[in-house]
Amino acid sequence: MPDAENPSRHQDLLLHGDPEPVGLLADPHPEDAAHPGSGPVPLALLPDGAAVGERGQLLVAGVDVADLVAVVGTPVFVYDEEHLRRRCREAVAAWGSGVAYASKAFLCQAMARLAYEEGMMIDVSTEGELHVAVSAGVPPTRLVVHGNNKSEAELSRAVQLGVGRIVVDSFDEIARLERLASAAKARPQVMVRVTPGIEAHTHEYVMTGQDDSKFGFGLASGAAKQAVARLARPGSPVELVGLHAHIGSQIFSVESFAKATAVVAHFMGELMESADAVGSIREICMGGGLGVAYVDGEESLSIAEWAKVVREAASAAGVPGNVALTAEPGRAIVASGALTAYTVGTVKEIPGVRTYVSVDGGMSDNPRPVLYGSGYEAFLARCVRSPRPRKVTVVGKHCESGDVIVRDAQIPEDLAVGDVLVTPVTGAYGHSMASNYNKVPRPPVVFVRDGVARVVVRRETAEDLLALEDPDAPALTAEALSSQERR
């Protein structure tokens, strides 16, 4: 494949679909409404630039997906670039210039550059994410540094670079940061992450706002108030500028966001009354977590609607108008902007049990079904609007029985080996959580826009898998080991 032969970071591909796509039409099979899930894939789950070609095939931003995979292979993440830009602009319009893109959802240099170009700050939670963002040309002042266990090296680099915000998460971190800031004669701006005690209605692994959480300072325990008092004290080597809260991910309940906002607002009021942080709290960030629809029947708020809920709750709780309200959307920016294309390799029917459809990816490019039991839709790139009466289980190629991509997928009756099978809404936590399990090279990332495709992250090769190997490495000397012990 061309990207394997020429492993340059960017590779431009001119791939045109039909000159006049017929577009996303009304459902041509209304009779399937009696059998939920058996009709064509729901249009709302596809990227904004998706359309149907004259032969019924899938186009994204004018690029024929079948033509694309013929060049770059499968599996492949395909992102609608204009979709991403539109969501970034929506976030800035709703929240203001302080809104940050939560890069853990999906990060590469092209995405970091895109979010910055569209006016967003970028939230990073490790030195690796920080490095990618800075290497993409994002000014450090437009970065927000997160993490419940920031190392000395991570904090040191953040201070040296002069990042826009550091969100402190523990008393140990405060001690490290104060020491580093004093030594560097810098005064970083920080926010205190508080745990509001709100249990969002979502999977337990992505709940973060409850009292029992590894994140933040608890309000109920008094830890949050102690942290604020320490950071806002006279002569503090850091500058406290605000409060931060994040109650979890994939949240559909507006009440959860409203309740969390009210709790943080009440805490801010207590601080002002006690003079613990007079003049310090000029920002409140309510984190991210806005849910997105993954399967037929799910509905989610828009970014603008989410912001409206938070602003109304803050106003009702008495937050002054001069306090900036902002957020950190990630999934809501990228999830529905991408899809993953696979090639069907095996169809195994077990009479009276189920039919397994094996594709050339799996839990190494989408671990969410394994981790969280997440659901997805599936359809064929050659017939977007075809009914999907056949129920199958789409699985990957890994040596795990749990390597399931879509447990109860509805697909067209004529699915066959060699078909390009597509799962939509894979823009978040696919590429970013991908692994090399079974030594499978990770897929490429392709951005499409105006009929042009760019490989912004190339496919890994077998040689890449050996890049860190050193089977003939010399033994570490006793002197080297003892010097480590003395540190």
Give tens-digit pLDDT for 109-158.
999 999 999 999 999 999 999 999 999 999 999 999 999 999 999 999 99
Whether residues 172 and 195 share a domain: the answer is: yes
Number of independent structural domains in the chain: 2
* 385-427 pLDDT per residue, tens: 999 999 999 999 999 999 999 999 999 999 999 999 999 999 9
pLDDT band at 485 (very low <50, low <70, confident <90, very high): low
pLDDT reported for residue 180:
97
- 75 prior amide bond cis, ω within 30: yes
Residue 472 falls inside a structural domain: no
> The domain containing residue 351 runs over which residues?
2-74+336-462
- Rounded to two decimals, the pTM is 0.90
Residue 431 falls inside a structural domain: yes
Whether residues 227 and 85 share a domain: the answer is: yes
In this predicted structure, the answer to whether residue 310 has a pLDDT above a threshold of 60 is yes
Residue 373 belongs to a domain with what CATH number? Answer: 2.40.37.10
- Give the residue from 334, 359, 378 where a domain finishes: 334
CA distance readout (Å), 424 to 71, 300, 338, 350, 374: 20, 16, 7, 27, 13
pLDDT reported for residue 1:
35
The two structure tokens encoding residue 66: 């079948």
Whether residues 19 and 168 share a domain: the answer is: no
Mean of the per-residue pLDDT values of the chain? 89
Whether residues 155 and 214 share a domain: the answer is: yes
CA distance readout (Å), 418 to 70, 382, 402, 415: 12, 11, 23, 9
* Mean per-residue pLDDT, 338-347: 98
Residue among 92, 84, 109, 107 nearest 333 (CA): 84
Whether residues 255 and 324 share a domain: the answer is: yes
The better pLDDT of the pair 111, 25 is held by 111
Whether residues 301 and 342 share a domain: the answer is: no
Decide if 150 contacts 126 (C-beta within 8 A).
Answer: no
Residue 264 falls inside a structural domain: yes
Whether residues 199 and 54 share a domain: the answer is: no
Whether residues 105 and 228 share a domain: the answer is: yes
pLDDT reported for residue 208:
43
Residue 275 falls inside a structural domain: yes
CA distance readout (Å), 161 to 107, 115, 178: 20, 20, 16
* 433-469 pLDDT per residue, tens: 999 999 999 999 999 999 999 999 999 999 999 999 9
pLDDT reported for residue 20:
38
Residue 487 falls inside a structural domain: no
pLDDT band at 275 (very low <50, low <70, confident <90, very high): low
In this predicted structure, the answer to whether residue 188 has a pLDDT above a threshold of 80 is yes
Whether residues 344 and 218 share a domain: the answer is: no
* Mean per-residue pLDDT, 313-335: 96
Residue 86 belongs to a domain with what CATH number? Answer: 3.20.20.10
Whether residues 330 and 344 share a domain: the answer is: no
Whether residues 270 and 134 share a domain: the answer is: yes
pLDDT band at 484 (very low <50, low <70, confident <90, very high): low
- Give the residue from 281, 312, 334 where a domain finishes: 334
| Across 187-191, 336-340, 370-374, least confident range | 370-374
pLDDT reported for residue 209:
40
Which are the catalytic amino acids?
A: 399
pLDDT reported for residue 276:
63
pLDDT band at 202 (very low <50, low <70, confident <90, very high): very low
Residue 484 falls inside a structural domain: no
Query: From CA 119, how far away is CA 77, in angstroms rounded?
Result: 25
- Give the residue from 309, 334, 359 where a domain finishes: 334
Residue 341 falls inside a structural domain: yes
pLDDT reported for residue 214:
86
Residue 479 falls inside a structural domain: no
Measured on CA atoms in the order 115, 156, 433, 148, is the torsion positive or negative? negative
pLDDT band at 197 (very low <50, low <70, confident <90, very high): confident
pLDDT reported for residue 486:
53
Whether residues 68 and 110 share a domain: the answer is: no
pLDDT band at 7 (very low <50, low <70, confident <90, very high): very low
In this predicted structure, the answer to whether residue 31 has a pLDDT above a threshold of 50 is no
